[in-house]
Amino acid sequence: MTSYRPLKAAWFDLAFGGRGTGPGQFNTGHGITIPPGTRRIDVADRANGKIDRFTRHGQYLSTLRMPMGSLPCDIDYLGRYAVVAALDGPDKSKGAPIYLLEDDRLVSTIFPKDDLGLVNFKHVHNAVLRETGGKLYIIAQAWNPGDFAVLEQVVP
């Protein structure tokens, strides 16, 4: 896109990725994120359990793998942290996980259904990370029936 003015927007002819399981390919390309302060494009590939990273010109850079059996829907960033919502995780009986990463390393896994008793959170579709008053908050959305939850960081 060359302009953000709606009546004057022009689009570049750019396509990248393609169907497959290799680096930079998707089986279910899902959430697309531009991490703040970067010119990178991150794409959640649900079926392949990964986040693929590209330049703004569509050139493959790297892959961030999620735990085996996870179906990531999107990724959101806040500084050194990232949050990944997954439609399913390795253990389907626990409901869908929300992964918290620090510098691309998995540091915490939250199961809203199993850990917090949020029965409608069998599948998590989106999650964002925000900071307010020195605390982190995860705002998550269940895929069906569409419930939302705000999870507050508790510091002992």
pLDDT in tens, 98-120: 999 999 999 999 999 999 999 99
Alpha-carbon 145 to chain mean position: 19
In the predicted structure, residue 29 carries a pLDDT above the cut 60: yes
Percent of the chain with pLDDT over 90: 73
Give the model confidence (pLDDT) of 125-156 as tens digits. 999 999 999 999 999 999 877 799 999 988 77
91: how many CB neighbours lie within 10 A of its CB? Answer: 12
Question: Which residues make Cβ contacts (< 8 Å) with residue 149, sequence separation at least 6?
Answer: 112, 116, 118, 121, 139, 140, 142
CATH number of 29-152: 2.120.10.30
Would you call the peptide bond into 145 cis, given omega within 30 degrees of 0 as the criterion?
A: yes
pLDDT for the residue numbered 118: 93
In the predicted structure, residue 92 carries a pLDDT above the cut 60: yes
Distances (CA, A) of 15 to 48, 70, 106: 19, 26, 30
Question: Which residues make Cβ contacts (< 8 Å) with residue 124, sequence separation at least 6?
Answer: 73, 85, 86, 87, 96, 97, 98, 112, 140, 141, 142, 143
The residue ranges of every structural domain in the chain are: 29-152
Give the model confidence (pLDDT) of 46-63 as tens digits. 999 999 999 999 999 999
Confidence of residue 89 (pLDDT cuts 50, 70, 90): very high
